[in-house]
Amino acid sequence: MESIVRVSGLTKTYTRQDGSVVQAVRGIDLDIYRGEVFSLLGPNGAGKSTTISMISGLIPPTAGDAEIGGHSITREPLQAKALIGVVPQEVALYPMLSARRNLDFFGRMYGLSGAELSKRIDEVLDVIDLKDRQNDKVETFSGGMKRRVNIGVGLLHRPQLIYMDEPTVGVDPQSRRRILDTVLRLRGEYGMTVLYTTHLMEEAQELSDRVAIIDNGAIIALGTLMELMSQAGEEDILVLTVAKERANDSIVGVLQAVEGVSRAQIEPSDTDNGEVKYAVYARLGRRALPGVLTAMNAAGVDVMSVNVREPDLETLFLALTGRALRE
């Protein structure tokens, strides 16, 4: 498969004013293939935006480099930048200008003009579905509409590659759906390559061909969804919540004795909310559930709630870091 982005040894170290050092990105290597949706999944502060900023030529890396379509972002920034569309995490628009003027201005910054620019703007307005509001000031838009214009700007020059940095942050479910559909359409209809960052497992799971999980500035897992799932384990997990005063050392043994259960453990938890969670691993979780509940009942332990978790990226993240993806 042909790579459109090759990142090697990418590193960013910040020195704060008080002299403390932040290693925002610690030597990332990755390839993004032409035509795929590649997600960078990680919690807040993982280094997603810093990575995007470096590979879009906004900030210089402390070390390492990225090649975009064969052009080094540090040595041939103008050629590399021309290939990329960027949708920043922030809504980067001029509030006092209309949607159309925003598109027009940024289009010109990508070297478009005249009838061609006008045609592209119409196309983009179509994609983001804002034709009827195009002449209103962005200031007057809802959060979701602003997000859509923010995406539109990144599409204007028909880049082969688009970076979208948490494009659904702070939007209502309806707008989120629209944005996710747009991403799928960009790959499906226009054959674009999308680098998508998010801290939401569901989004990565729905959109991506491949996912890299990033934590603390480093990539801790990378692969197709299938590959990552198998890394997470093939078993379902039943999560039983028990009141703390009812929890005792024998429960793990009771659970492991149930038929169909391979193992059980206490789930690590940072918060003390008077509850203890037990993770019960079973190949077919739903089928093992009645036996598990009966055994708990027999042991005299009240189960407050049961949650069946099929393996997902969340599980993988938990398994790799011992922390939940979102706090």
Ligand X SMILES: Nc1ncnc2c1ncn2[C@@H]1O[C@H](COP(=O)(O)OP(=O)(O)OP(=O)(O)O)[C@@H](O)[C@H]1O
- Residues in contact with Mg ion by the rule CB under 5 A: 48-49, 89
Secondary structure of 59-116 as H, E, C letters: CCCCEEEEEECCEECCCCHHHHHHHEEEECCCCCCCCCCEHHHHHHHHHHHCCCCHHH
Compute the distance between CA of residue 9 and CA of residue 218 in angstroms, rounded to an integer: 10
259 binds, among Mg ion, other proteins, ligand X, none (CB under 5 to 8 A by kind): none
Phi then psi for residue 143, to 5 deg, are -55, -45
**Rounded least distance, CB 324 to Mg ion, Å:** 18
153 binds, among ligand X, other proteins, Mg ion, none (CB under 5 to 8 A by kind): other proteins
**Rounded least distance, CB 248 to other proteins, Å:** 49
Q: What would the x/- binding string for other proteins be over residues 51 to 70, using CB under 8 A?
A: --x--xxxxx----------
Query: Residue 183's Cα: distance from chain center in Å?
Result: 13
Burial class (CB within 10 angstroms; exposed 0-12, middle 13-18, buried 19+) of 197: buried
- Total binding residues toward other proteins, as defined by CB under 8 A: 30
Give yes or no for a contact between 25 and 217, defined as CB atoms under 8 angstroms apart.
yes
Q: What would the x/- binding string for ligand X be over residues 14 to 43, using CB under 6 A?
A: x-x-----x-x-----------------x-
Q: What would the x/- binding string for ligand X be over residues 177 to 206, using CB under 6 A?
A: ----------------------x-------
97 lies in the site for other proteins, by CB under 8 A: yes
**Rounded least distance, CB 37 to Mg ion, Å:** 18
| Secondary element (H or E) of residue 303 | strand 303-309
153 lies in the site for other proteins, by CB under 8 A: yes
| CA dihedral for 244, 246, 247, 252, sign (positive or negative) | negative
Q: What would the x/- binding string for other proteins be over residues 67 to 96, using CB under 8 A?
A: ----------xxx-xx-x-x-x-xxxxxxx
134 binds, among ligand X, Mg ion, other proteins, none (CB under 5 to 8 A by kind): none
Compute the distance between CA of residue 203 and CA of residue 214 in angstroms, rounded to an integer: 15
**Rounded least distance, CB 326 to other proteins, Å:** 23
44 binds, among ligand X, Mg ion, other proteins, none (CB under 5 to 8 A by kind): ligand X
What is the DSSP secondary structure assignment for residue 267, as one 8-state letter? P
46 lies in the site for ligand X, by CB under 6 A: yes
**Closest CB to other proteins among 30 and 86?**
86
- Give residues with Cβ within 8 angstroms of 303, minimum separation 6: 240, 241, 242, 293, 296
- Beta partners for residue 198, in sequence order: 41
Q: What would the x/- binding string for ligand X be over residues 69 to 108, using CB under 6 A?
A: --------------------x-------------------
243 binds, among Mg ion, other proteins, ligand X, none (CB under 5 to 8 A by kind): none
Q: How many CB atoms lie within 10 A of CB 274?
A: 8
Query: Residues 7, 10, 28, 47: which binds ligand X (CB under 6 A)?
Result: 47
**Rounded least distance, CB 46 to ligand X, Å:** 4
Closest listed residue to residue 130, CA positions, set 112, 158, 149: 149
Q: In sequence order, what DSSP letters do the residues of 193-249 get, joined into one string?
A: EEEEEES-HHHHHHH-SEEEEEETTEEEEEEEHHHHHHHH-S-EEEEEEEEGGG--T
Closest listed residue to residue 52, CA positions, set 154, 179, 132: 154
Give yes or no for a contact between 234 and 78, defined as CB atoms under 8 angstroms apart.
no
Residues in contact with ligand X by CB under 6 A are 14, 16, 22, 24, 42, 44-50, 89, 166, 199
Residues in contact with other proteins by CB under 8 A are 53, 56-60, 77-79, 81-82, 84, 86, 88, 90-97, 101, 105-106, 108-111, 153
